[in-house]
Amino acid sequence: MAHTLTKKREQRELTIARKRLDLRADCERCFALCCVAPAFSASVDFAINKNAGQVCPNLQANFRCGIHTRLRQQGFRGCTVYDCFGAGQKVSQVTFGGQDWRQAPQNARQMFAVFPVMRDLHELLWYLSEALTLQPASPLHQELSLALGETERLTHNSPDVLIKLDVATHQQEINNLLLRASELVRADFKYKNKELRGADLIGAKLRGADLRGANLRGAYLIGADLRDADLRLADLIGADFRDADLRGANLTGSLFLIQSQLDSARGNSETRLPASLIHPTHWQTLKTTHVYFHS
């Protein structure tokens, strides 16, 4: 019986891992929607102002970025931390059947409106697929599977339906389910004064902090010193890590951490990450003096 359950779990995890490949950006199959659809303002993250639907001046005719290898140096750090979760190729190749907005300009406005909706749905798919790998959340796996299937079904709607979709309501329903899953995983840490949801921790001195199992959902950790902090099993969904110092931090087993959060932070080769994420290329390889924890 135990062997059968183990095999089923392994098969489910393999299916989820394959599905997650579709939730990673494939720029070769996208018509550079992230370079056109979103608006941004001149700031530390962007060198210029750009309106929604306006083509970025760095975009070339072949849908490639002319300064891709120099984005940070040219003042476009915001581009390096953006993740569409595969929504770009889904809209380009599935929703619009491979018709790009340059060859079919009549579709441009609609395509740009669909893209952020699809991006939100794909992000939810990423979180739901992760929740299904969490064994302590197994009592919710059926609900999570149904939510995953319904969200996937929504992504295959027509452009007209997608544009009118009440994404905010769907997000709230999924978020409530993800929170329940998170609470099951973090059950052993719930009563240790680690309820930091939405907390203002901008510039906080948290070096070596024991944040295991903390609820850091939506917390503002901009510029925080998290060197050598222990963030195992911490719920990090929506946490703002811009310029946070993660050198030597332990993020293995953390919940709902995504690549773009790491891309916006600072770290090094000694920063420990979940297996599904990678060390950003801009992180410097620096040595860190470690603070050791007692279990």
Contact assessment for residue 225 and residue 243, using Cβ atoms and an 8 Å cutoff: no
Interhelix angle 108-131/2-21, nearest 10 degrees = 160
Residue 20 pLDDT: 73
Q: Does residue 35 contact residue 58 with C-beta atoms inside 8 Å?
A: yes
**What end-to-end distance do the CA atoms of the chain give, in Å?**
32
| pLDDT of amino acid 86 | 97
pLDDT number for residue 10:
59
Burial of 149 (0-12, 13-18, 19+ CB in 10 A): exposed
Query: What tokens were used for 62?
Result: 């072949």
pLDDT (0 to 100) of residue 24: 93
User: What's the chain's Rg over C-alpha atoms?
Assistant: 20
- Helix or strand holding residue 259 (H, E): helix 259-263
Say what the pLDDT of residue 194 is: 86
Q: How does 220-248 read in b/e, with b if 16+ C-beta sit within 10 Å?
A: bbbbbbbbbbbbbbbbbbbbbbbebbbbb
Predicted confidence pLDDT, tens digits, the chain (295 residues): 655 556 666 566 666 666 777 899 999 999 999 999 999 999 999 999 999 999 999 999 999 999 999 999 999 999 999 999 999 999 999 999 999 999 999 999 999 999 999 999 999 999 999 999 999 999 999 999 999 999 999 999 999 999 999 999 999 999 999 999 999 999 988 666 689 999 999 999 999 999 999 999 999 999 999 999 999 999 999 999 999 999 999 999 999 999 999 999 999 999 999 998 999 999 975 454 444 443 3
What's the confidence (pLDDT) of residue 292? 41
Helix axes 167-185, 108-131, angle to 10 degrees: 20
CA 264/CA 83 separation, integer angstroms: 11
**Confidence at residue 188, expressed as pLDDT on a 0 to 100 scale:** 86
Say if residues 250 and 232 touch (Cβ distance below 8 Å).
yes
* Whether 191 contacts 213, CB under 8 Å: no
Q: What does DSSP assign to residue 56?
A: P
Contacts 24+ apart (CB under 8 A), 243-251: 246/271, 247/271, 247/286, 247/288, 248/288, 248/289, 248/290
Q: How many Cβ atoms sit within 10 Å of the Cβ of residue 111? A: 24
- Helix, strand, or coil (residue 114): helix
Q: What is the pTM of this model?
A: 0.89
Residue 224 confidence (pLDDT): 98
CA dist 80 → 21, 61, 69, 142, 188 (Å) = 20, 20, 10, 36, 36
